[in-house]
């Protein structure tokens, strides 16, 4: 299926669809789900320190019987337990003295991609943080290094002193946020940084009933596919690597099949337009909510003052 691998600026290739462990929790559940993803053709697993299931991911990788080179593994520096980057990557790999016998973490000698989970974790500053990431790559603990949730200004600061460019920037991306995220996509493309998209399915999983419903349903009917497949095809058309998840085998297979969908320019434009309209409605709801909260607060203040006999005039 045509989810082709994409060449990174590090020279390595990243599979353009990955299975994410963000929402899986702990225990046997994530082990089973990662194994299911691997069994169904996913060769890109995305996890993070803050997801607290690197260990379960490691168990699934080992039990799959696949060679290390057969699976692209991403994890992220999340600042968990206040650990610094050099300590954290070794802890994630399972090569740190801090790792106990019962917590073996990923159990690999390197990750294919190591990300800074957020610019707020770049302490004391972005240049210092990135220099530590470059050291991780230099030591062979990660083949490629990148960032997550970095805006344009954050990337500008990073690139001003970087010896190694980030290979990717993993960000929230779906039609309802596309317009506000577009500058990030454009800046990344200009600097050879691949965009990874998480939560691409939010318009149908968390925000159904919005302006996107109509074009998604029409396009899905035209291709005889599902609306979630259309959203993934849209994300792919934007040049982004998709990170998604599901506990259902049929959906995982459907997500892979979405790679066969080629949307027309008109299809993409219709989704973009509906996404922009939905973004405006979401922003208006936020404004109205703040106004209502403000009004309630003011009413409470006036009521309290009247009760206490305090004049507000």
Which residues are known catalytic residues? Answer: 51, 117
Bridge partner residues of 116 (DSSP): 77, 147
Decide if 49 contacts 24 (C-beta within 8 A). no
Geometric angle at alpha carbon 95, from 90 and 100, rounded to 5°: 105
Q: 103-139 b/e with 16+ CB inside 10 Å = b?
A: eebbbbebbbbbbbbbbebbeeebeebbebbeebbee
């Amino acid at each position: 299926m045509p989810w082709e691998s994409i060449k990174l600026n590090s020279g390595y290739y990243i599979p353009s669809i990955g299975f994410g462990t963000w929402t899986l929790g702990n225990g046997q559940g994530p082990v089973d789900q990662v194994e299911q993803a691997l069994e169904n053709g996913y060769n890109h697993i995305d996890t993070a320190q803050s997801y607290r299931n690197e260990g379960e991911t490691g168990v699934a990788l080992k039990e799959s019987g696949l060679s290390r080179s057969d699976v692209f593994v991403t994890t992220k520096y999340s600042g968990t337990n206040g650990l610094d980057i050099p300590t954290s990557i070794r802890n994630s790999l399972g090569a740190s003295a801090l790792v106990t016998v019962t917590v073996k973490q990923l159990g690999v000698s390197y990750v294919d991609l190591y990300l800074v989970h957020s610019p707020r974790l770049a302490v004391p500053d972005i240049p210092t943080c990135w220099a530590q990431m470059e050291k991780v790559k230099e030591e062979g603990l990660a083949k490629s290094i990148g960032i997550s949730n970095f805006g344009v200004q954050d990337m500008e600061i990073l690139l001003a002193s970087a010896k190694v460019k980030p290979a990717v920037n993993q960000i929230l991306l779906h039609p309802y946020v596309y317009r506000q995220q577009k500058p990030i996509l454009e800046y990344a493309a200009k600097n050879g940084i691949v965009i990874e998209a998480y939560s691409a399915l939010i318009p149908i999983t968390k925000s159904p009933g919005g302006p996107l419903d109509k074009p998604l349903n029409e396009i899905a009917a035209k291709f005889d596919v599902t609306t979630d497949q259309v959203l993934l095809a849209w994300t792919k058309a934007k040049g982004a690597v998709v990170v998604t998840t599901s506990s259902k085998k049929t959906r995982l297979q459907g997500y892979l099949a979405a790679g066969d969908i080629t949307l027309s320019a008109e299809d993409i434009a219709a989704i973009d337009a509906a996404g922009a309209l939905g973004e405006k409605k979401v922003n208006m709801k936020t404004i109205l909510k703040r106004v209502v909260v403000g009004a309630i607060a003011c009413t409470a203040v006036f009521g309290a003052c009247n009760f206490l006999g305090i004049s507000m005039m």
